A and B are shown apart, each in its own frame.
Chain A
């Protein structure tokens, strides 16, 4: 086992020092005050690589407390390696209770999905964000995108949706689908499937978004309107499947497609493992310490 013990005692609660946490909280407050606006923050080097959730981890580390119960998911599942790794990290440096049950969590850190179980007031959802700038693929320069947001010059985004319809007959964006927050800022909801976008609209929970490598934090306070961009005559639509979950029979959740054998046989299973377990009547163990 690697010996980090000599230095372990020197790590503050939840790894980050108090000054850093304060700095991040200030950024979070600014973000909450201006929903959808990307607040630059002094992101720190973390023990996990950039691109692997350092932004989400810093946001969580800044707000987590001993009374919290933490759930961590990746692709909707609690047991994917990245989710396991991050959950272990916080169990070690913050000594918090962890859970796989959405209902029991006070703080949920997620990569690329929103839990199927509707969230309550008082819960916080922390998103891991790779590219916080929704206009990035249309305009690579940050100096320009910053200006576009400041001046509400969003023509270029609408043009890209128009173009998609002209080319494909429909808006072909399927994940990281851009939204208008509180009628003012266009925001990237992180690479969640568009299936999850409606869950963001007027959610009772607080949504926090952390991009560690790009060093931006943004937020959507509870009950804020979040509208997926579209055209009046090409309204926003979510994905549907003709199949249902092979384990629990759900027809309303996002399904993962699994290739089961060499012949290419497929099986469809809920991506949200907790949701699936609940429906099957399997309750997860008690929150662990």
Chain B
């Protein structure tokens, strides 16, 4: 059992011009945990995610990651080389728009195989085999292996993006509205898929969403953000069943009954 958090955020703060995007965000993420960050548009959750994942540099605060080979590192103190390597091996990032996380101009197989090729895999047949396995795991038809994502539906592209990230067995996955913009039935299947993968692979994740249903289904703990600050946090079920902060209460009560 680990005694060190996998991810440690301390007072992460970022502003754009005069506008505060997120302020003083702190938390610990432990191995196997899925942390949800919820809030409406403009709450700062995506900016926070980008700061955590090393895509943006915070104006204040720090983000520490416990790397398996090297111990705890300060994400923003790393050299670009190391950070990029981390991103390709121990981490994954699932974008809301799958096009940003895929190479649209190459086949599904190439997309999945890239991380393997980047670390030296050189047997076409083997790479292809692993890619085919992953297509299966993310429930994409095997005969789509050589098709380009431009011919895929939104849901399929998202599943491909997930496979592309997971092929390198990452320990930590960042997800930005992974089911945003998809049809409800498609969303449901992808959420099921993600839940299965997270459990089976013992993944840790930070998941940003505005959809409380997604949060309920996938996350263990929840942080509620409003205007750049965390206004409430706790176990997901507790926060959603018994919200303390007025904003959280408003969010929970705003869910339209079917």
Contact = CB atoms under 8 A, between A and B. Distances in A.
Interface of A: 147, 150-151, 153-156, 158-160, 162-163, 165-167, 231-234
Contacts of B155: none
Given A147-B80, A233-B125, A234-B124, A155 B146 contact: no
Given A155-B114, A158-B118, A166-B109, A231 B84 contact: no
Interface of B: 80-81, 84-85, 88, 103, 106-107, 109-110, 113-115, 117-118, 122-125, 127-128, 145-146
A234 to B, nearest CB: 5
B239 to A, nearest CB: 40
B124 A162 contact: yes
Contacts of B125: 233
Given A232-B122, A234-B124, A155 B106 contact: no
Nearest to A154: B118
Contacts of A159: 103, 106, 110, 113-114, 117
B113 A162 contact: yes
5 contacts: A151-B81, A155-B115, A159-B106, A162-B109, A166-B146
Closest 8 CB pairs between A and B? Answer: A155-B118, A158-B117, A231-B124, A232-B123, A163-B106, A151-B81, A166-B146, A163-B110
A231 B122 contact: yes
A178 to B, nearest CB: 14
A233 B128 CA distance: 12
A162 B80 contact: no
Nearest to B119: A155
Contacts of B124: 162, 165, 231-234
Contacts of B109: 162, 166
Nearest to A162: B110
A248 to B, nearest CB: 38
Contacts of B117: 155, 158-159, 162
A217 B115 CA distance: 31
B84 A151 contact: yes
Chain B contact residues: helix, strand, loop or mixed? helix
Contacts of A158: 114, 117-118, 122
Given A153-B84, A162-B109, A166-B146, 11 more contacts: A147-B80, A155-B117, A159-B103, A159-B117, A162-B106, A162-B110, A162-B117, A166-B107, A166-B110, A167-B107, A231-B122
Nearest to A231: B124
A159 B114 CA distance: 6
Nearest to B107: A166
B135 to A, nearest CB: 13
A67 B10 CA distance: 69
A233 B146 contact: no
Contacts of B106: 159-160, 162-163
Nearest to B111: A159
A151 B81 CA distance: 6
A76 B166 CA distance: 49
Contacts of B127: 162
Contact of B118 (A147, A150, A153): A153
B130 to A, nearest CB: 12
Contacts of A233: 123-125
B253 to A, nearest CB: 47
Contacts of A150: 81
Contacts of B114: 155-156, 158-159
Contacts of B145: 166
A48 B228 CA distance: 60
Contacts of A163: 106-107, 110
A167 B146 contact: yes
Contacts of A232: 122-124
A226 B124 CA distance: 21
B78 to A, nearest CB: 13
Contacts of B123: 231-233
Nearest to B124: A231
A179 to B, nearest CB: 15
Nearest to B103: A159
Contacts of A165: 124
B129 to A, nearest CB: 11
Q: Chain B CB within 10 Å — which of A154, A158, A160 has the most? A: A158
A32 B7 CA distance: 44
A275 B80 CA distance: 50
B108 to A, nearest CB: 9
Nearest to B146: A166
Nearest to B105: A163
User: Which residue among A147, A150, A153, A231 has the maximum number of chain B CB atoms within 10 Å of its CB?
Assistant: A231
A150 B82 CA distance: 12
A32 to B, nearest CB: 25
A232 B122 CA distance: 6
Contacts of B80: 147, 151
A180 to B, nearest CB: 11
